[in-house]
Amino acid sequence: MTATAERTAIAAAAPASADPSIVAWVERIAALTEPAAVHWCDGSAGERAELTEQLVDAGTLIALDPVKRPGSYLARSHPDDVARVESRTFVCTESASDAGPTNNWEPPARMRETLRDVVAGSMRGRTMYVMPFCMGPLGSPLARYGVQVTDSPYVVLSTGVMTRMGAAALAHIGPDTPWVPAVHTVGAPLEPGEQDVAWPCNDTKYIVHFPETREIWSYGSAYGGNAILAKKAFALRIASSMGHREGWLAAHMLLLKVTGPTGRVFHVAAAFPSACGKTNFAMLQPTIPGWKVETIGDDIAWLAPGEDGRLRAINPEAGFFGVAPGTGESTNPVAVETLDRDVIYTNVALTDDGDVWWEGLTDEAPEHLTDWRGESWTPDSGRPAAHPNSRFTVSAAQCPTIADTWDDPAGVVIDAVVFGGRRASNVPLVAQARTWEHGVYMGATLASERTAAAEGTLGELRRDPLAMLPFCGMHMADHWQDWIDTGARLRSTGRPPAVFQVNWFRKGADGSFLWPGFGENARVLAWILGRVEGTARGAESPFGIVPAAGEIDYAAAGVSEDQWRGLFAVDRDALMAEADDTAEFLYSMGSRVPSAIDAEHALLRQSLRALPHSS
């Protein structure tokens, strides 16, 4: 087929609702990648069923027992394609300084040449799928649109769960609607007669973002955020840059709806780095009577001042792409119930009776499994049955605690913003920021202590500002300034949300956790919302405002008086040493660090110097 005939065929196959700019772009990408066919996705149940059958026939998906896991499937990736590849993730701005010190940078022109070379002909022998999608509720003023092409039907199924993908999204993209173009290929062209593999990918990988032109290109991987480009690539990296220009925030945050004993409804946005209890908090089951917690989102929030002068937020995703290991009946029964049907599992273990299992799902492992590599496994095998980064992909609508407002086009009004890390020392159980700027400082200097030698030196601080370290598509300090500017805008029309920092992981001298966590975290949440409401008392500390005596019934949580004191203990010398470490971190961000952040750090040092020396 000639190039002209191919363009004509693509245009003829495009839905009537497809804007000419999308059709022209698809034609250009098809001319570069040379697919055998082009399929415009409509997001229908029939299309999903057809692709699922195709993937089962190809060996990419294994159908699970229809009684135990109806509508659910297991995928096993290539052993070298199991996680995000941060070292191959690039933010390509015209100026290296705009990408900042936390991103891998290449000049856009040079990277485009590299991508053209590797992407040329990369879809030969495969079908190119065109996926129009919406991030956020369709028609919401906070929603944004994109179109991804891919040669992986597994990615099509996953994107269909994680976004509003298909004909409805395409119909919303008109001549004046900005949309993000995203190109994905597994980088494994098929020659005529060549046998395909169950999980095609390439040893060479690129996940590239061009914030100034709002483009995403991904080559070589079919896994997770490397390939489902609507997720971290669009919803955080590109969106943080979009928000910088348009006056809103892309945040790596969960969203909660909380109803108190009086019937008052609150909404909370919370940012936690990995392994800090984020998903468990998103699906919190309170242990205290009269409180109800519902889920709006578990991973990403887009926030913007609304017409009413309050900070509003949406969950731009339509599904959960969660880490399976550690998710179980004892840790997160809500998540387990969410996974009872219509789930795509990736790299978990398979039971002999057609169910799935992973470490932490149950206290006892089955006597025999087929592990994530497809090999026989027993508890004596000496290796995990499920990959540590194994995942589940499931519709958010299946969550039993999903809020009725989770997809409200107007978003929800945020009453409190919470930051949290995994800290064995120094950081108290909870503290309220004195001002919005102090709260941004809390988030900007967020850190967790490394917990195992395999991750680095035990106790070493791993900075993860605003939990955005791998996901900020711009200079991190400019993102901090966006948060500060948002607070100023909110103050001009009303008041910003209250800001807090929590730490569920403080330990005592014997190395044991001082706070039980899980459902008992509702006691801390109740105090936080009491501060918002003006009914909870606080006391001054170097960290901010902490609970006054008697405000949290810690004894009911099984915490002793000594443990409670330990949760708020102040070690001047240790805190001064950490302040020095924080100063080095801020210095590493260069001259773009907002003056308000520097001022808050100076205030912290001043308050610490006024404390007596540690004994």
Bridge partner list, 545: 432, 540
Radius of gyration of the chain (CA): 25
Rounded to 10 degrees, the C-alpha dihedral 253/258/264/265 comes to 50
Per-residue tokens: 427: 């950081």
Burial environment of residue 150 by CB neighbours within 10 A (0 to 12, 13 to 18, 19 or more): buried
Bridge partner list, 305: 311
H-run or E-run covering 297 = strand 292-297
Q: Is the dihedral of CA 422, 423, 429, 432 positive or negative?
A: negative
User: Could you confirm whether 276 is annotated as catalytic?
Assistant: yes
Task: State the catalytic residue, choosing from 92, 134, 276, 472.
Answer: 276
Per-residue tokens: 283: 């699906």
Determine phi and psi for 358, rounding to 5 degrees: -150, 160
Task: Mention every residue, 6+ apart, whose C-beta is less than 8 A from residue 53.
Answer: none
Contact between 575 and 463 under an 8 Å Cβ cutoff? The reply is: no
Q: What one-letter code names the amino acid at 504?
A: W
CA separation for the pair 221, 207 (Å, rounded): 9
Buried/exposed 183-210: b ≥16 CB within 10 Å, e otherwise: bbbbbbbbeeeeeeebbbbbeebbbbbb
CA atoms within 13 A on the CB side of 507: 10
Contact between 423 and 505 under an 8 Å Cβ cutoff? The reply is: yes
The conformation of residue 371, written as its DSSP 8-state character, comes to: -
Task: Mention every residue, 6+ apart, whose C-beta is less than 8 A from residue 356.
Answer: 64, 69, 72, 74, 345, 348, 349, 350
Contact between 297 and 282 under an 8 Å Cβ cutoff? The reply is: yes
Give the SS3 label for residue 202: coil
Detail the DSSP E strand segments found in 337-415: 344-346, 349-351, 356-357, 369-370, 376-377, 391-395, 412-413
Task: Give me the active site residues, please.
Answer: 276
